[in-house]
Amino acid sequence: MSYPSVFWILVIKSLFGHHGGVYDRMPRGNAGSLWINILKVSRELEKKNVHLEVLIKRKVGDRMDTRFWEDNWITVGLLKDLYPRVYNLDQDPESIVANRLDLALNAPFLRRNPRGGAQEEQWVSLLSLLETHVSSNQRERWIWTGDGDGVYSVKCGRNLIDK
């Protein structure tokens, strides 16, 4: 494991499943668990129409820590949801952004080339979107999209909750 955060991702996934338990029903009897309390707060915020997965976005840098399909690294949303037909063709849907951006034009990561119709349309649209993406040599980080400066503040968070 090259980064400490990868260790914690593996721990949380092993304890709470692939999505960290975010989409699972709340288990009973674990009221004191820190992670369960975080999930409860997240669900309470969703009831107030405050969606953390939308407000916190990964800022892609060197592209080595971000999964191409599964992580929210492009402002338009998860690529697996936007391009499901291309996602279904991918041989390794857990691949990182660095592996996909470098190979996107040749499509060797697909089981086969897209076959007309919706597959072809989604493929062309995905390639067009990727052409606009610029990466950097900085490490990847999380940014707050709740206001214009990309930095979380308690005031901004409170304002969103109180709306």
pLDDT category at 88 given cuts 50, 70, 90 is: very high
23 located within any domain: yes
Stronger pLDDT, 140 or 44, i.e. the higher one: 44
Instruction: Domain count for the chain, please give it.
Output: 1
pLDDT of residue 83: 94
76 located within any domain: no
Domain residue limits at 37: 1-47
pLDDT of residue 87: 93
Stronger pLDDT, 43 or 11, i.e. the higher one: 43
Mean pLDDT of 125-141: 77
pLDDT of residue 45: 84
Identify the helix (H) or strand (E) that includes residue 141: strand 141-144
25 located within any domain: yes
Stronger pLDDT, 2 or 45, i.e. the higher one: 45
Helix, strand, coil tally for the chain in percent (to 5): 45, 5, 50
pLDDT category at 5 given cuts 50, 70, 90 is: low
pLDDT of residue 2: 44
Coil, strand or helix at 155:
helix
pTM score, whole prediction: 0.54
17 located within any domain: yes
Mean pLDDT of 102-108: 62
22 located within any domain: yes
127 located within any domain: no
pLDDT of residue 117: 92
The 10 Å CB-count burial string (b at 16+, else e) for 53-75 is eebebbebbebebbbbbbbbbbe
Compute the mean pLDDT over every residue in the chain, rounded to the nearest whole number.
Answer: 76
pLDDT of residue 1: 39
105 located within any domain: no
55 located within any domain: no
